[in-house]
Amino acid sequence: MTTGAAPPRTASILAVGSELLGTTRLDTNSLFLTGRMDALGIATVRKACVGDGWDDLVAEIQTALERASLLVTSGGLGPTDDDRTKEAVAKVLGRRLVRDEEILSRLKERFRKRGYAMPDVNAKQADVVEGATVLVNRRGSAPGFLVEEGGRTVVLLPGVPHELKAMWDDAVAPLLARAGEPGLHRRVLKVAAMPESVVETMIKPVYAAHPSVPITILAAPGEVQLQFASRGTAGEAAAVLDRIEADFRRALGDEIFGRDDDTLEGAVGGLLRAKGKTLALAESCTGGLLAGRLTEVAGSSDYFLGAAVTYANAAKTDLAGVSAETLERYGAVSEETAREMALGARLRFGSSIGVSVTGIAGPGGGTPEKPVGTVHLALDDADGTRLHRRLATPGDRALIRRWTTSSALSLLRHHLLGTSGWRA
Amino acid sequence: MTTGAAPPRTASILAVGSELLGTTRLDTNSLFLTGRMDALGIATVRKACVGDGWDDLVAEIQTALERASLLVTSGGLGPTDDDRTKEAVAKVLGRRLVRDEEILSRLKERFRKRGYAMPDVNAKQADVVEGATVLVNRRGSAPGFLVEEGGRTVVLLPGVPHELKAMWDDAVAPLLARAGEPGLHRRVLKVAAMPESVVETMIKPVYAAHPSVPITILAAPGEVQLQFASRGTAGEAAAVLDRIEADFRRALGDEIFGRDDDTLEGAVGGLLRAKGKTLALAESCTGGLLAGRLTEVAGSSDYFLGAAVTYANAAKTDLAGVSAETLERYGAVSEETAREMALGARLRFGSSIGVSVTGIAGPGGGTPEKPVGTVHLALDDADGTRLHRRLATPGDRALIRRWTTSSALSLLRHHLLGTSGWRA
């Protein structure tokens, strides 16, 4: 698609400010910038954060310019002594800073409108890297700059997110856009409750069929995301992404529950609604988290009736209808108890389907026969379907609980689809 | 404090993974690493993110090693083809990768325990940069590494946050610590379910008493954090931090529920245990999230008996004992229903205390009299205490649900403390 065209442009993002090297602040501007540059056909190859120290700042700008043809900086354009991004860029490019009288008068006017005189320190915001294009800031005092030098471009933006975003869309994007230039379009496919390495093995044919497509596997607890992208106009890219998606679906079948912003609980909710079925739960070790995920979906009251969170054994009997004999004979964490809980939830709430979870989330409570991570899931449908799964999940309490909710939702999803799932 | 000592050590952090150059993921590990290194007297001077591309990865590692004496990488240690951090570090340091049979057998055992054979792709996780110290991963499959070369140190950690954190505290911190070295020590105090502006007003005297201490207020949904720091040995810093903490406690009193890693659900659990009381819930709009938070605490089964998640009205009557007449006359979202739910939960589960939540989380279901964000909380203690709060929470569905769980926990906490709270 890009045959004969110029090579794709690359970019480096640099966020300047010592607060970004602390324990609380992340450079969220880079997410916005990456997406906007992708659409212009500019690939972000790296991003960095650096403090206000002069030597570090100069070194970082030098490195960035060696690594990509475009450098976008955010922050360090303010009036204080530790705002030195402009000075550092001028130093690296071997240019002077010159005071711009037009910017100076705009700044003074801005302060006058707010009812006070411009403090002297703000005058430095009117300094311009010689030869730079000035980018107007309609939401703040610091203007931005675009400087070109030997085929490289540096864009200097303020760090305040709403100022940066407005300046990009107002002034930077029009300067960087190239007519007909293909952009990068992304897609994400999602799989639930499968180990990353099993997914990896199953999708080998997709890698083989698309050797030049960058495919990223991303594992979150209970979910694997497959991210890929294609370069071209929107239409060209969609056609390529559709082909790759079809190959993923051939490799993984119904294990793919959604794409992009889809959630597993949303997918399950959509199926329950489509099939006209209602759901109730009996939860033990997940302690309400499974109900919590299902009710994250707006409108879930259409199909979700409720849950009995039966942490104590007496509650398993009273609310979920598990017989005292079953608890006595097989224990609270057993296939038998799980099956009775699922049936009990269905009958108690009068739902079409009951799903249950009982297990040992740890850190205490494990035994050699039933170690921490042992979980029993069961499903009981009024149509006569009865399912059970035993899980052995590694990790800590939070991970076991999260994995368990994904496994339960996945079991329910496959039941509603009429498929069996990779594990069965 | 550092007179005559070696110069402060500096560090560079590098997060590896193409997903970090997309539009959704930020390198949150760097926040943890920065705090931990600060405490060891190691200053983070820069951090960067780079994709899986070989040339970029090698260049980034080279740059980082030129800029600081310590490089900490996260990610790229997994089993897939695009996990190449080890290979790139070996290349930059001019070392070989060698397969470690002990790691290999640990990996195989790990998979065997989960019930299936190790996929062949995982074998590369047993490759070690020659001469490196192996860092055991007690929460995942990828081991980490520490390599020293010409006065510089490279630490390679997995990207999964809970694996990285455990590995740092278990294995890395002891190797990097130097006795007597002054570090930057931080403390965080936490307040629940209060608006940031109310907290800000109450702590004005603390700012005035400590003009040179950087104090940061950080607001998360349902929680405000007060962060401050002091430089010195652990003992010197603790004395300063204790004085500041005492001033915060004078200003905010019992609104401070904990510090550092304390959680509100942990604080409530500790009080329930100390008072020998048990708890049951009836939840509607929070749909299990309140029970989910309470059961995040290991050992919560000592005091938490269970919850009736009564999404459907029939369940409010059947499981939580709300009379059909109350539902009919006042509606599901009302003080009367909330009070009956709290009593019903207490009686149904046989607990000392019942707490209930009913409200409108949105986006649909609001009316002029009961707009989205209207929530009723109630508490019913066998000692005769009966409490009720009406909340009007702004924000979207997720924010309203999170604020509601914090408000309910805070109500319960003040009841257990015998205090009334700022709002009462």
* pLDDT tens column, A250-305: 999 999 999 988 999 999 999 999 999 999 999 999 999 999 999 999 999 999 99
Task: Measure in Å the smallest separation between the Cα of B96 and chain A Cα atoms.
Answer: 25
Give DSSP secondary structure letters for B358-380.
EE--SSS---SSS-TTEEEEEEE
Q: Which two tokens stand for residue B64?
A: 């980082």
**Nearest by CB: B288 against A50, A292, A364:** A292
Nearest CA in chain A to B312: A305
Pairing of strands B42-50, B9-16: parallel
Chain B positions in Cβ-Cβ contact with residue A294 (cut-off 8 Å): 287
**A208 φ, ψ (degrees, to nearest 5):** -65, -35
**Nearest by CB: B315 against A217, A314, A349:** A349
DSSP code for B253: G
pLDDT of residue A291: 98
Q: Does B56 touch chain A (CB under 8 A)?
A: yes
Nearest CA in chain B to A319: B319
Q: Does A288 touch chain B (CB under 8 A)?
A: yes
In A27-156, alpha helices (H): 29-39, 54-67, 85-93, 101-113
Say if residues A204 and A388 touch (Cβ distance below 8 Å).
no
Q: Are A309 and B288 in contact (CB < 8 Å)?
A: yes
Averaged in consecutive runs of 10 residues, what is the pLDDT profile of chain B (424 residues)? 60 95 91 95 96 95 96 94 94 96 91 87 92 91 92 96 96 91 91 89 92 83 90 91 97 95 97 98 98 97 98 95 97 98 98 98 94 97 97 91 97 95 69
Listed by number, the residues of chain B in 238-267 with a beta carbon closer than 8 Å to a beta carbon of chain A are: none
Q: Which of A55, A216, A318 to mutate to test the interface with B (most CBs of B within 10 A)?
A: A216
Q: Are B48 and A45 in contact (CB < 8 Å)?
A: no
Listed by number, the residues of chain B in 295-314 with a beta carbon closer than 8 Å to a beta carbon of chain A are: 295-296, 298-301, 304-312, 314
pLDDT of residue A370: 96
- How far apart, in whole angstroms, are the C-alpha atoms of residue A355 and residue A408? 8
Nearest CA in chain B to A21: B44
**Nearest by CB: B306 against A59, A67, A315:** A315
Number of alpha carbons in the 13 Å side-chain half-sphere of residue B401: 24
The CA–CA distances, whole Å, from B354 to A43, B291, B387, B405 equal 55, 12, 11, 14
Give residues with Cβ within 8 angstroms of B256, minimum separation 6.
B189, B190, B191, B248, B249
Q: Are B23 and A35 in contact (CB < 8 Å)?
A: yes
- How far apart, in whole angstroms, are the C-alpha atoms of residue B223 and residue B193? 6
**Nearest by CB: B364 against A34, A281, A299:** A299
Q: Are A308 and B308 in contact (CB < 8 Å)?
A: yes
Give residues with Cβ within 8 angstroms of B290, minimum separation 6.
A288, B281, B283, B307, B355, B357, B404, B405, B408, B409
Q: Which two tokens stand for residue B311?
A: 């999404």
**Nearest by CB: B319 against A60, A290, A308:** A308
Q: Does A75 touch chain B (CB under 8 A)?
A: no
Task: Measure in Å the smallest separation between the Cα of B265 and chain A Cα atoms.
Answer: 13
Say if residues A13 and A48 touch (Cβ distance below 8 Å).
yes
pLDDT of residue A1: 40
Listed by number, the residues of chain B in 376-415 with a beta carbon closer than 8 Å to a beta carbon of chain A are: 397-398, 401
**A221 φ, ψ (degrees, to nearest 5):** -55, 120
Which of B389, B367, B365, B195 minimizes the C-alpha distance to B285? B365
Q: Does A8 touch chain B (CB under 8 A)?
A: no
pLDDT of residue B181: 84
**pLDDT-above-70 percentage for chain A:** 98
Chain B positions in Cβ-Cβ contact with residue A20 (cut-off 8 Å): 47
CA angle A339, A343, A348 (to 5 degrees): 145
Which of A217, A383, A214, A412 minimizes the C-alpha distance to A304? A412
Q: Are A186 and B22 in contact (CB < 8 Å)?
A: yes
Predicted complex ipTM: 0.79
pLDDT of residue A221: 83
Q: Are A287 and B295 in contact (CB < 8 Å)?
A: yes
Chain B positions in Cβ-Cβ contact with residue A311 (cut-off 8 Å): 295, 300-301, 304-306
pLDDT of residue B424: 53
pLDDT tens digits, one per residue of A165-216: 999 999 999 999 887 788 888 899 999 999 898 999 999 999 999 998 888 8
Chain A positions in Cβ-Cβ contact with residue B348 (cut-off 8 Å): 318-319
Around Cβ B279, how many Cβ atoms within 10 Å?
Answer: 28
Nearest CA in chain A to B110: A394
Residue B311 CA, chain-centre distance (Å), reads 28
- How far apart, in whole angstroms, are the C-alpha atoms of residue A264 and residue A256? 10
Q: Which of B23, B165, B217 to mutate to test the interface with A (most CBs of A within 10 A)?
A: B23
Using the structure block, give the residue that is written with the tokens 């996260």. B74
Give residues with Cβ within 8 angstroms of A354, minimum separation 6.
A279, A280, A281, A282, A341, A342, A343, A344, A345, A346, A347, A379, A380, A381
- Work out the angle between the directed axes of helices A54-67 and B54-67 (0-180°, nearest 10): 160
Pairing of strands A304-310, A279-283: parallel
Residue A84 CA, chain-centre distance (Å), reads 32
CA angle A334, A338, A344 (to 5 degrees): 145
Say if residues A225 and A192 touch (Cβ distance below 8 Å).
no
Give residues with Cβ within 8 angstroms of B121, minimum separation 6.
A197, A200, A201, B79, B80
- How far apart, in whole angstroms, are the C-alpha atoms of residue B6 and residue A277? 69
Listed by number, the residues of chain B in 121-180 with a beta carbon closer than 8 Å to a beta carbon of chain A are: 121-122, 139-140, 160, 162
Chain B positions in Cβ-Cβ contact with residue A395 (cut-off 8 Å): 139-140, 162
Q: Which of B10, B46, B65 to mutate to test the interface with A (most CBs of A within 10 A)?
A: B46
Chain B positions in Cβ-Cβ contact with residue A49 (cut-off 8 Å): 46-48
Indicate the SS3 state at residue A57. helix
Q: Does B363 touch chain A (CB under 8 A)?
A: yes
Which residues in chain A show pLDDT less than 50? Answer: 1-4
Task: Measure in Å the smallest separation between the Cα of B196 and chain A Cα atoms.
Answer: 17
